[in-house]
Amino acid sequence: MLQWALIFLLVALVAGVFGFGGIASASAGIAQILFFIFIALFVAALLFRVISGRAP
């Protein structure tokens, strides 16, 4: 999922450089949403790992 966020971020940057503001804005928004979903899932996984108490 983080890979998709980075891809959309790159699309937004390239579109912004070439002056496509609408596409850049939409791609940046999608990248931001995917990044926050990734962070939330990462934190949830860490919490489940701590709560379960299993050793690595």
Tokens, residue 40: 């939330």
56 inside domain: no
Residue 34 structural domain: 2-51
* Domains held by the chain: number: 1
**pLDDT per residue as tens digits for the range 1-56:** 678 878 888 888 888 888 888 888 888 888 889 889 999 999 999 999 888 876 66
Handedness of CA 19, 20, 25, 28 (dihedral sign): negative
10 inside domain: yes
| Whole-number pLDDT of residue 16 | 84
pTM of the full structure: 0.69
Please count the CA atoms within 13 angstroms of the CA of 40 that sit on its side-chain side.
6
Cα(50)–Cα(7) distance, rounded to whole angstroms? 31
Residue 14 is given by DSSP the state H
Asked whether the beta carbons of 50 and 21 are under 8 A apart, the reply is no
